[in-house]
């Protein structure tokens, strides 16, 4: 499979089509776009069979991408609109998998002490928890409320325990019917950083966004359906430099200043060589907007509200 | 049993002796004091039988209290000395229960978003984790290192899940041989706030320090020994006001200005009435030093270093 | 003057009337109450002459108290209503002192590292700053916008410089026409904590809320009018214990169980003795709700929005 | 002048020599290297006349670069050694400009809410302040102590006021004899991020490190000598991509696969074109290690301790 260097299904679909000079839909993949308003756009990708799986390397299921412009400077109204869009899309996915009063566990992946990785734990802080109230003081909860619990289990580097192991144990004891998992993702494109939300019902691989892929969280590994909400918050430096060189060779070709050797180079992956040459050393370098702290704050508001309204009618 | 309004075994021992006008040791309780230096004092209380249990309402086991003066303004040297004292006491307790290379899980109780309750999560952040390294890259770990993992599971109010339920599941999957649990405690005395560390090997009731007692974490409930490290970070307001009135009546008695009615009053618990009269309302009022943020920082350094050295020789 | 142990003009007015068994208005003081809705109440106190000044120990000027119920659990709607109430009251005060396009400097007093003292710096973070835009890129600012700047100067204990000295220098260079100063206050009543906003146009003494009164910020000392926005976030422990004892003696008197000595005691100030007896020691003990972190967050949203709308039409 | 894209004097010296194929010292610039230990290296650059100024575009004065390896994983001992090295270098600079008991004002530039820009405010939090003690309670201060004050004035974007304007006013009132200014810098090299400290006595331009150069702080503009302590915490994305392409062309040349056009390209600045092509858009993209939060913590400890010991003997 091609090294897409992105987790987003719609980005992979675009790259696949461009690489194959294909205009129409890929076999096995249904896509649908909707402009909610000037600021918000929804792209739905549905992988329906193995052809689709092979094409873009993602399992059968639903992938919904919500794009929000200018989230950095968003005010209350735009944050509220973005949250409503997430609520609408998420509600449909939830209803596909569980009933109205089934127990939901919300899981915020990521390391709360690393700003661009802290989205999951921040969202968990804002989730309206009802499970303990329904158990101990049901009179304080609106009738018909669904039991909701939430946890931020930390990352392997700070706990020493695979997230999968932690969640397996909790699921055995709490017995939720559905997991909603929030995580930071890596994107290929700077433009997507903290302005995109990807929803899917096929699970997630924790830490993929910050260079440390772990054991997957999915129905297969955990026994209950897993809806993942992923938000790109970083681009890996090496990816970006590699892209920069691609663009550079493209320009040379346009000006007919390229040569055989350069043209061949572009077809290979110059990732490792550039990484080494830039002397990135022991650090895992990431690219973020300077305003990442504010973006994460706004985005966690959008995601938390989107979930709160989607799981309680 | 008397309402001691303190979790500290040595405070309870003192109160019991004072109430019973007793000078010598309580039957079933052994005590030993040691001055480490001008700043640090260690008091060891060992409850050896049911008489001791009845007297102060704590289970059979070891209770060690370390007092550190002036921690608010502590410099590197004092923090280091305090950590060494904790290491020495903790190492003995650990060796009583497990072998050199047995797996240890460190648990930081409390809510990281509530300053005086954030000690546990802050300590977890500074624990040297080795379990994942021993599993995936053992060549990077010093020979003979013990597998250590750590988690901050949150509190019932933010997760909707009893801490006991979360830990049971993790223990089933990770299979540690010992739990070291850190929590914020309530103290009766303002002087103890964030200058005292209580160690015990009899488990802990999470949230007791901030007015929300939960299901206990102990060998009985979890199947493995539990060493608790408790640090008083708050005094409940109602406790303090009640104490203030006790002191006030004592002064009146000294000046022979008290009366029969007042003397009887003092034997009862005026807690509820005062609480109501001060109109504390829906809030759970706590008393802390204004410098609580700095104290918690210094204390979490002491506890984390104390643990790190005690569990790896 | 009586030791009111509160900074709030309306609390002082009540205490004065109670102490003098007075039902009607105090000479030199005009008061007016308004219920905005079920949750929000406004009390306006206007001191118009020296009689009023003498009675409650506050300078001639306007004192407006806004009470907000249940701010801890406030949702977007209530926060928005509370902010609108502040906007309406503040706008009137601002118009009394300066013109539409006059320069305003917003000052957030307090120590951002001490939770209950961090309100001022948090509000400053959310103020819409326009002064630099009007100077460097006026095309990006709405026509008719007022130049607004903001600063959180820190506290004497962390800067070594009196806030007055810092502000004098900045005023000399920036030349604003009005100062809006936000600070944490001490209240006598637990109920007021982070649910009350006091507005006045007579200046402020920084740090009065947390036991360290500094040089006043006022038209007299700084040369320009100063509107102060004060929010009670703590009660001093000694105040509360003293109140507890007062209440206790009141109850005894009701039950006719008091005596001559007790009755005399109540007329004096038992503050120091109790403080000493409780062994508060070197710490400056404060009383706050356990939920202070959330309360401060909600309150800083209310105050920042209230200011932003009041100073730009 | 060549666009060096780095603020570090020693980096500029290296680049200048490389560009001019020069082995020996540049006229007007004296350099001296010292290895303190395995981990720490000091490079001293002294610009002594206009030839030096012209060569590397920095004013006459002292520039000292301290390099610290592995600061991310530094333990107490290494942090302490790094701080001592800073103390030694800083003490010499301070003595060149003021006397033993002259007043010093420490200024932490940067925005405390933007992680890689928060170094200055974090250092200020740890400076030992004595000015107010010497003024109000001199009996509590060691004899011979120097008056030290400190402030974190914020950045233009959050205050609306030029840092220079704020400091001018404070200097007029506080009348210090020396300013020590701490700021985050941009570096050309990823390796330098948060592992390098540059000291100089020629002042600083705030915000240069994060793309918003402001009015300079120097003896010329403020009337008192200014020692700047700069720490590179970010690399601008465009710089890095540009470097990546340079390296890429270098490799092509080594393999004799380059051409005339490419060789010419390399002599120009491809910065803007690449920036545009990567579609960086409205965001100011920065490159940091994922571990930036920890690095900033360790570095602020090093800088604060280094200053505290250097300014009080």
pLDDT single digits (tens) D70-123: 776 667 788 889 999 999 999 999 999 999 999 999 999 999 888 888 999 999
* C153 and D CB contact within 8 Å: yes
- Picking from D244, D252, D286, the nearest residue to A274 by CB comes out as D244
CB pair distance less than 8 Å for B257 and C261: yes
CB pair distance less than 8 Å for B283 and C190: yes
Chain B nearest-CA distance from C180, in A, is: 26
B4: in domain: no
Beta carbons within 10 angstroms of residue B101's beta carbon: 11
Residues 238-267 of C with CB under 8 A from B: 240-241, 243-245, 247-248, 251-252, 255, 257, 259, 261-262
Question: What residue ranges in chain B does DSSP mark as E strands?
Answer: 29-35, 40-47, 61-68, 104-108, 148-151, 178-186, 196-200, 226-236, 285-289
Residue B265: pLDDT band (50, 70, 90) is: low
Question: Residue A260 to residues A19, B214, D253, D255, D266: CA-CA distances in angstroms?
Answer: 20, 71, 14, 13, 20
Whole-number pLDDT of residue C294: 81
Whole-number pLDDT of residue B21: 87
C122 and C217 belong to one structural domain: yes
Sign, CA dihedral A44-A46-A51-A54, equals: positive
* B77 and D CB contact within 8 Å: no
Contact D163, D153 (CB under 8 A): yes
Give CA–CA dist D233/D251, Å, rounded. Answer: 28
D116 and D252 belong to one structural domain: no
* D157 and C CB contact within 8 Å: yes
CB pair distance less than 8 Å for B168 and A173: yes
What percent of chain B lies above the pLDDT cut of 70?
Answer: 86
* D173 and C CB contact within 8 Å: yes
Residue of chain C whose alpha carbon sits nearest to that of B114: C293
Per-residue pLDDT at A94 exceeds 90: yes
Q: How high does pLDDT run on average in chain B?
A: 85
Chain D nearest-CA distance from C312, in A, is: 15
A280 CB contacts (<8 Å, ≥6 apart)? A237, A238, D190
pLDDT single digits (tens) B5-53: 677 788 888 888 888 888 888 899 999 999 999 889 999 999 999 999 9
pLDDT single digits (tens) C24-37: 889 999 999 999 99
D33 and D88 belong to one structural domain: yes
B113 and B61 belong to one structural domain: yes
Chain B nearest-CA distance from D20, in A, is: 44
pLDDT single digits (tens) B212-262: 567 889 999 999 999 999 998 888 777 777 777 777 777 777 766 667 766
CB pair distance less than 8 Å for C170 and D173: no
D212 and D68 belong to one structural domain: yes
CB pair distance less than 8 Å for B261 and C279: no
C283: in domain: no
C4: in domain: no
Q: Choosing among C161, C179, C214, C223, which should be mutated to test the D contact, i.e. which has the most D CBs within 10 A?
A: C161
CB pair distance less than 8 Å for B189 and C283: no
B80 vs D contacts (CB less than 8 Å): 76
CB pair distance less than 8 Å for A158 and B129: yes
CB pair distance less than 8 Å for C115 and B117: no
D257 vs A contacts (CB less than 8 Å): 259, 261-262
Per-residue pLDDT at A250 exceeds 80: no
A205 and A223 belong to one structural domain: yes
Whole-number pLDDT of residue B83: 94
Per-residue pLDDT at B152 exceeds 90: yes
A278 vs D contacts (CB less than 8 Å): 190, 240, 243-244, 247
Contact A41, A85 (CB under 8 A): no
Give CA–CA dist B214/B226, Å, rounded. Answer: 16
Query: CA-CA-CA-CA torsion for A207, A212, A216, A222, nearest 10 degrees?
Result: -70
What percent of chain C lies above the pLDDT cut of 70?
Answer: 86
SS3 C232: strand
C145: in domain: yes
D191 vs A contacts (CB less than 8 Å): 279, 281
Whole-number pLDDT of residue A206: 74
C202 and C269 belong to one structural domain: no
Beta carbons within 10 angstroms of residue D172's beta carbon: 14
Per-residue pLDDT at A270 exceeds 60: no
Domain containing residue D258:
239-278
Q: Tokens representing B125?
A: 């952040």
D286: in domain: no
Q: Which helix (H) or strand (E) holds A44?
A: strand A40-47
Q: How high does pLDDT run on average in chain D?
A: 85
CB pair distance less than 8 Å for D279 and A251: no
B165 and B181 belong to one structural domain: yes
B84: in domain: yes
Chain D nearest-CA distance from B287, in A, is: 25
**Between B71 and B129, whose confidence is greater?**
B129
Q: Choosing among B73, B75, B76, which should be mutated to test the D contact, i.e. which has the most D CBs within 10 A?
A: B76
Per-residue pLDDT at D188 exceeds 80: no
**Between B16 and D282, whose confidence is greater?**
B16
pLDDT single digits (tens) D227-263: 999 998 888 777 777 777 777 777 777 776 667 766 6
**Between A106 and C39, whose confidence is greater?**
A106
Contact C9, C62 (CB under 8 A): no
CA geometry: angle C212, C218, C223, nearest 5 deg = 140
Burial class (CB in 10 A: 0-12, 13-18, 19+), B259: middle
Whole-number pLDDT of residue C93: 96
CA geometry: angle A278, A281, A284, nearest 5 deg = 95
B224: in domain: yes
Mean pLDDT over A139-162 rounds to 92
Whole-number pLDDT of residue C266: 61
Q: Rg of chain D over CA atoms, in angstroms?
A: 20
**Between A151 and A195, whose confidence is greater?**
A151
* C56 and B CB contact within 8 Å: no
* C211 and B CB contact within 8 Å: yes
B69 and B171 belong to one structural domain: yes
Contact B187, B260 (CB under 8 A): no
C253 and C213 belong to one structural domain: no
C121 and C261 belong to one structural domain: no
Q: Choosing among C238, C260, C287, C296, which should be mutated to test the B contact, i.e. which has the most B CBs within 10 A?
A: C287
In sequence order, what are the beta bridge partners of C65? C43, C198
Q: Which helix (H) or strand (E) holds A107?
A: strand A104-108
Whole-number pLDDT of residue B212: 58
Domain count, chain B: 2
A58 and A175 belong to one structural domain: yes
Per-residue pLDDT at D275 exceeds 80: no
Residue B141: pLDDT band (50, 70, 90) is: confident
Alpha helix stretches (DSSP H) within chain C: 9-19, 50-56, 76-97, 119-126, 131-136, 156-159, 163-174, 219-222, 237-254, 260-267, 271-277, 292-311
Whole-number pLDDT of residue A25: 83
A94-108, D11-25, D242-256: which has the highest mean pLDDT? A94-108
Per-residue pLDDT at A242 exceeds 80: no
Q: Give chains near D: 3+ CB pairs under 8 A.
A: A, B, C
Whole-number pLDDT of residue B165: 93
CATH number at residue D95: 3.40.50.1450
A89: in domain: yes
Q: What share of chain C is helix, strand, coil (3-state, %, to 5)?
A: 45, 20, 35
From first to last of its 313 residues, chain C has per-residue pLDDT tens of 566 767 778 888 888 888 888 888 899 999 999 999 988 999 999 999 999 999 998 899 999 999 988 776 667 778 889 999 999 999 999 999 999 999 999 999 999 888 888 999 999 999 999 999 999 889 888 888 999 999 999 999 899 999 999 999 999 999 999 999 999 887 777 777 878 899 999 998 776 544 556 788 999 999 999 999 999 888 877 777 777 777 777 777 776 666 776 666 665 655 566 556 665 555 677 888 877 888 888 899 999 999 999 999 7
- Picking from D160, D165, D174, the nearest residue to C148 by CB comes out as D160
Per-residue pLDDT at A236 exceeds 80: no
Whole-number pLDDT of residue D141: 87
**Between B269 and A139, whose confidence is greater?**
A139
A161 vs B contacts (CB less than 8 Å): 131-132, 149, 151, 170, 173-174
Residue A221 phi, psi (nearest 5): -85, -25
């Amino acid at each position: 499979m091609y090294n897409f260097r992105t987790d987003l299904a719609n980005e992979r679909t675009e790259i696949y089509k461009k690489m194959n000079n294909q205009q129409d839909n890929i076999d096995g993949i249904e896509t649908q776009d909707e402009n909610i308003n000037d600021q918000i756009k929804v792209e739905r990708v549905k992988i329906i069979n193995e052809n689709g799986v092979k094409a873009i390397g993602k399992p059968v299921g639903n992938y919904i991408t919500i794009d929000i412009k200018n989230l950095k400077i968003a005010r209350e109204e735009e944050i509220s609109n973005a949250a409503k869009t997430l609520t609408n899309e998420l509600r449909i996915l939830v209803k596909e998998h569980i009933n109205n009063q089934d127990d939901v566990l919300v899981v915020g992946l990521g390391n709360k002490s690393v700003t661009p990785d802290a989205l999951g734990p921040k969202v968990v802080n804002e989730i309206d928890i009802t499970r303990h109230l329904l158990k101990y003081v049901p009179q304080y909860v609106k009738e018909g409320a669904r039991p909701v619990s939430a946890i931020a289990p930390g990352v392997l580097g700070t706990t020493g325990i695979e997230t999968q192991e932690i969640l397996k144990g909790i699921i055995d004891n709490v017995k939720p019917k559905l997991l909603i998992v929030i995580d930071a993702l890596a994107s290929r494109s700077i433009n997507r950083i903290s302005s995109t939300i990807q929803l899917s019902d096929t699970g997630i691989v924790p830490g993929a966004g910050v260079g440390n892929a772990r054991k997957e969280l999915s129905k297969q590994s955990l026994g209950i359906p897993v809806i993942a909400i992923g938000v790109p918050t970083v681009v890996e430096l090496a990816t970006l430099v590699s892209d920069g060189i691609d663009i550079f060779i493209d320009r040379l070709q346009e000006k007919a200043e390229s040569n055989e050797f350069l043209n061949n180079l572009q077809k290979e992956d110059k990732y490792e060589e550039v990484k080494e040459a830039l002397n990135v050393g022991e650090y895992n370098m990431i690219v973020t907007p300077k305003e990442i702290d504010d973006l994460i704050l706004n985005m966690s508001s959008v995601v938390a509200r989107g979930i709160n309204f989607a799981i309680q009618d």
